[in-house]
């Protein structure tokens, strides 16, 4: 039976991540980049100032909401989204891209990340514009809602919008147990056993208890934990990687040269497309999340929609920064750490180590830190993967809520927590493959929605640019629903 499932899944996986998906993912990013007049470059200073810069200058970005207010801050939404996207793919995935695609794979990661910024931007803009509040007072947004209420509002499109919304929720729910839970926990358990000889069962029990304490508290508790965990783990890993790059500074120029030279070799192009997350899943590097920012999957928009932000474009800019931080910063540092370590022949692009996955990065760190190198990577994977579990628990709960109602979310959370122990103690080759399939299937309805509603994204973006940058007097576009538009407009005037 398992063999049959594996074979069927392989066929589906190849179809999902084939040329059509390549065209859909990259094409959507290119289209949104063109329609928004290359927003990620033309307004680089502006969105950087209002994301990273605002963390230090605008108290409203980080100030917690009142106890009665079920929304979270913009910074918390970013941290929760980054918690889900910065995972094992940033370490294991990147090393796999180098192994199978050569240094040139990193160049294609950068290229697709550039366009992916605007895909993620568009998802978040639509998420805020079409979100609603549930009976608990929580914001509910995501691909399900802009498919049903956005695409479905077009003439004759209501049945299609409803069906695509339902499919997205089902695929997201299934993916949350695989890529968002068991696969991550299995990586933690395996690394903790290898580095510290801790039994996998013990790791599973501890993580199940810790996750239960957070996940059962809902989005506000998850956000409270991730806003502390994500900055710490990012800085922890970035500093460690920078130390290695500085020590091996003499190899930085050759490493960068090998990336650009290798980008146009056939092997590097194939590996690079895999590394960017848009080519068919013929290499396992792609299926392990080589390109980990999830732009186009419609996942992170569910937490971004829980933000207390009023302007859709403001949250869209956080989406741009999310892709930038995940790929341009973290993935690039992982690549440069390995490339400057002497474990890769920079002339041929061949990995000259027998290590794979996290072990390859661990070996690179051991060149400088000795035995502490693999331990450093084990701790990094612990932080990265556990934060991914927390983020995906929210994604799965919102999909479950859409399908079964808000009153049943506790059932999902309990099942999700139990699956953590399963993930620590079982072989997960099939689970990885299945979760990658559902991850890819999520992208199809989501990108159909983004493409169909691209004119809406353009109108909202132009409206924001005219008002906030050109200082023109216009009525803001804040929501597709008159009652929410009125409420948010009044609140926006007060804050201004």
Angular region, 142: left φ>0, alpha ψ -120 to 50, beta rest:
left
Q: What is the mean pLDDT of the chain?
A: 81
Q: Looking at the predicted structure, is the pLDDT value of residue 178 above 90?
A: no
Question: Over pLDDT 70: what percentage of the chain?
Answer: 83
Phi, psi of 393 (to 5 degrees): -60, -35
> What are 350's strand-pairing partners?
345
Phi, psi of 92 (to 5 degrees): -65, -45
DSSP at 251:
G
Cα–Cα distance measured from residue 225 to residue 374, given in angstroms and rounded to the nearest whole number: 26
Q: Looking at the predicted structure, is the pLDDT value of residue 406 above 60?
A: yes
How much is the pLDDT for 282?
Answer: 32
Report, as an integer, the average pLDDT of 388-405.
89
Tell me which CATH code domain 2-495 carries. Answer: 1.20.1740
Kindly indicate the confidence band of residue 363, based on its pLDDT and cuts at 50, 70 and 90.
Answer: confident
Q: Looking at the predicted structure, is the pLDDT value of residue 400 above 80?
A: yes
How much is the pLDDT for 269?
Answer: 43
- Worst-scoring range by mean pLDDT, 83-92, 154-163, 380-389, 440-449? 83-92
How much is the pLDDT for 38?
Answer: 94
Q: What is the pLDDT of residues 49-96, one digit of tens each?
A: 988 888 777 666 666 656 665 567 777 777 777 776 776 777 777 777
Cα–Cα distance measured from residue 372 to residue 374, given in angstroms and rounded to the nearest whole number: 6
**Residue pair 22/278 in contact by the 8 Å Cβ criterion:** yes
How much is the pLDDT for 377?
Answer: 83
């Amino acid at each position: 039976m398992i063999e049959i499932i594996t074979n069927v899944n392989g066929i589906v996986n190849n179809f999902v991540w084939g040329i059509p998906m390549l065209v859909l993912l990259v094409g959507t990013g290119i289209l949104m980049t063109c329609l928004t007049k290359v927003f990620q470059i033309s307004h680089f200073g502006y969105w950087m100032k209002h994301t990273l810069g605002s963390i230090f200058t605008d108290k409203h970005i980080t100030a917690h909401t009142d106890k009665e207010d079920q929304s979270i801050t913009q910074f918390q939404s970013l941290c929760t989204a980054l918690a889900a996207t910065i995972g094992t793919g940033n370490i294991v995935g990147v090393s796999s891209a180098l192994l199978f695609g050569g240094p040139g794979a990193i160049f294609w990661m950068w290229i697709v990340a550039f366009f992916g910024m605007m895909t993620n931007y568009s998802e978040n803009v639509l998420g805020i514009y079409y979100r609603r509040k549930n009976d608990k007072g929580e914001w509910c947004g995501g691909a399900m809602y802009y498919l049903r209420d956005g695409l479905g509002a077009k003439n004759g499109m209501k049945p299609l919008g409803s069906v695509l919304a339902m499919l997205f929720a089902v695929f997201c729910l299934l993916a949350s147990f695989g890529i968002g839970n068991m696969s991550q926990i299995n990586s933690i358990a395996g690394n903790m056993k290898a580095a510290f000889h801790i039994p996998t069962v013990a790791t599973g029990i501890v993580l199940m208890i810790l996750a239960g304490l957070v996940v059962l508290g809902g989005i506000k508790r998850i956000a409270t934990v991730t806003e502390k965990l994500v900055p710490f783990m990012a800085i922890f890993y970035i500093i460690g990687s920078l130390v290695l790059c500085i020590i091996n500074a003499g190899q930085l120029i050759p490493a960068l040269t090998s990336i650009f030279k290798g980008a146009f070799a056939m092997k590097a192009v194939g590996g690079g497309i895999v590394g960017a997350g848009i080519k068919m899943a013929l290499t396992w590097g792609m299926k392990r999340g080589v390109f980990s920012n999830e732009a186009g999957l419609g996942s992170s928009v569910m937490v971004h929609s829980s933000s207390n932000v009023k302007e859709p474009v403001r949250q869209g800019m956080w989406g741009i920064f999310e892709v930038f931080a995940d790929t341009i910063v973290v993935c690039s540092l992982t690549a440069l750490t390995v490339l400057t370590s002497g474990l890769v022949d920079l002339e041929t692009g061949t990995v000259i180590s027998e290590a794979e996955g996290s072990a390859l990065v661990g070996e690179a760190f051991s060149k400088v830190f000795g035995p502490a190198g693999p331990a450093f990577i084990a701790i990094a994977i612990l932080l990265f993967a556990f934060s991914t579990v927390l983020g995906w628990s929210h994604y799965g709960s919102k999909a479950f809520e859409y399908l079964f109602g808000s009153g049943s979310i506790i059932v999902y959370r309990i099942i999700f927590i139990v699956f953590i122990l399963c993930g620590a103690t079982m072989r997960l080759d099939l689970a990885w493959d299945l979760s990658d399939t559902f991850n890819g299937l999520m992208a199809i309805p989501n990108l159909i929605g983004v493409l169909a509603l691209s004119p809406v994204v353009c109108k909202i973006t132009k409206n924001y640019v005219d008002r906030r940058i050109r200082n023109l007097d216009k009525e803001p576009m804040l929501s597709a629903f008159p009652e929410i538009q009125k409420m948010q407009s009044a609140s926006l005037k007060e804050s201004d």
